[in-house]
Chain A
């Protein structure tokens, strides 16, 4: 009976897997089709003219690598700054005490639930006035502030570190900043990794902020692939879209497959702690 149950579970999982992975399948198949057979009737489930032309065309139809560099620049700046800034603030919440801490921590918790898109448009209006539109300064500013969720992750980690560690260092005459920098930060590499991965993929995947803040030539790959593959009649070039999307998402999927642990622990902790 146990065996029968296990095989039912297995069958259900395989069915789910087919369902969940089939969109990837169609994406790749479309990317491998010649444009001429895109709208074939009846549909071609497998390309009759298998071709890689879409990939080379997708990369040259607009300056794909240039936009990828924009995305990468923003993502690297943002994820590095936000990770450091979040560790910095997380240390304060975990190891230090002050009047008003309860209030400040309450603010932190409530902003964790803060719907970001609500502040985005007013922020955009203010950035326009400050002349920060079409620069990468907004991402620097967002990075420097840290993210409540990442601050919380670091706080959880630092809270669980032994008190003796810090006391020994203080007796040795280290200030809090050096305690943080020399002792706590190096110990927290699992959280650093999680934070880097999460913030990198937020930035790489973000659409609305770059669409609002950046002009066409400085924008990110996410915005460009959503809007760029159109011919002079305004028709979408779907085989190029497919190839462009494959090249855009593969690095993220690979990053996930290689560094799974960081991704999963980051997501899973959010529901538990």
Chain B
């Protein structure tokens, strides 16, 4: 539209080329993301058990059940609580480490590498490691407590299992640390120097300059943190029960929503109901993402047009 008409055929070719390049991904999105989601949506309105070829249409029954079934409400509440605890804790811990690493100290690179190391450990490795630490009879956690006369705490059972899971999540705070550190290093040094000249304290300089300038990075962390927390599944299974069929053996205090979903699908064969659960979770995640993005409006900025990109002035700081 903006180009001269004589370039018309070239533009057409370019348009074709755009779809040649993005087509495979787009096709993959339709087949492997959109279609399964649509399939789950259709299932959620039926009483499918995965076996009978003609499931009955049950309307909104499954969704009604999601919001009335005490077990599901329980798992939703626990998931909410888990998210509300781990997201702020992980971000605070990661930010704390990043601020420490942003000081001019010796061996900074080494500290950074080693503190990030746990975040690189594959989830299965991390979960099994924590299982060894918190084992009732052979774990180091009880070994330590034993020296203070407390013995035989069953960490992997109720009511403590929740805290083991939270600790396990916190162990990967290195992710937040690395991203926050990159953000901290983007903040011009002069700003802090000017503040100091004006007589601002360290704390003031942190809360008035660092935090606002870091807010886009932190907002992003909040979104991805919430999404990750809501989907927590593999660590639960591995650290607490040795078999994948053992979903229902997960302690009550870790009865998160994904445990409920897997139990409904694979232990109870209630495909319809489980699909409704998935969709409720999906809508929930979209809603949270939208709300957080709305809150951070102007802080996170993507441009669609590459040409626009070069001239863009980067928007920093919240509104």
Contacts and interface: CB of A to CB of B under 8 A. Distances in A.
Interface of A: 5-6, 9-10, 12-13, 16-17, 20-24, 26-27, 30, 38-39, 41-43, 45, 85-86, 88-89, 91-99, 101-102, 104-109, 111, 113-119, 121-123, 125-126, 141-142, 144-146, 148, 151, 159, 176-177, 180, 201, 204-205, 207-208, 211, 222-223, 225-227, 230, 234, 236, 238, 241-242, 245, 248-249, 252-253, 256-257, 260, 263-264, 267-268, 270-272
Interface in B65-118: 97, 100-101, 103-106, 111, 113-118
6 contacts: A5-B103, A20-B174, A97-B18, A145-B27, A159-B309, A230-B242
A109 B118 CA distance: 29
Contacts of A95: 306
Given A13-B100, A119-B36, A268-B178, A241 B124 contact: no
Contacts of A116: 231
A109 B302 contact: yes
Q: What bracket does the count of chain B residues touching chain A fall in? A: 35 or more
B186 interface: yes
A143 to B, nearest CB: 10
B153 to A, nearest CB: 13
A122 B120 contact: no
Interface string B181-205: 1110010000000000000000000
Contact of A107 (B29, B115, B275): B29
A271 B32 CA distance: 26
Contacts of B128: 225-226, 241, 245
Contact of A118 (B101, B282, B306): B282
A272 to B, nearest CB: 6
Contacts of B242: 226-227, 230, 234, 236
Contacts of A225: 124, 128
A218 B128 CA distance: 21
Q: Is the interface of B mostly helix, strand, loop or mixed?
A: helix
A238 B135 contact: yes
A126 B14 contact: no
Contacts of A105: 304
A270 B104 CA distance: 25
Given A227-B242, A272-B217, A146 B28 contact: yes
B19 interface: yes
B223 A23 contact: no
Contacts of A113: 223-224, 227, 285, 289
Given A43-B140, A145-B24, A205-B122, A126 B129 contact: no
B40 interface: yes
A34 B117 CA distance: 27
Given A20-B115, A113-B223, A230-B242, A85 B274 contact: no
A101 B25 contact: no
Given A96-B18, A126-B39, A256-B117, A271 B138 contact: no
A211 B243 CA distance: 10
A159 B138 contact: no
A177 B27 CA distance: 19
B276 interface: no
Nearest to B243: A227
Contacts of A21: 114, 117-118
B163 interface: no
B161 interface: no
Given A225-B124, A264-B178, A117 B304 contact: no
Contacts of B278: 118, 121-122
A207 B123 contact: yes
B158 interface: no
B21 A89 contact: yes
A17 B35 CA distance: 46
Contacts of A257: 113
A88 B17 CA distance: 11
A96 B14 contact: yes
A111 B121 CA distance: 25
Contacts of B262: 121
B129 A26 contact: yes
B271 interface: yes
B50 interface: yes
A209 B260 CA distance: 17
A123 B28 CA distance: 12
Given A27-B132, A205-B122, A271-B179, 18 more contacts: A9-B103, A20-B174, A88-B25, A92-B21, A93-B306, A98-B16, A113-B227, A118-B285, A121-B265, A123-B32, A141-B31, A145-B25, A176-B17, A201-B122, A222-B122, A223-B244, A271-B182, A271-B183
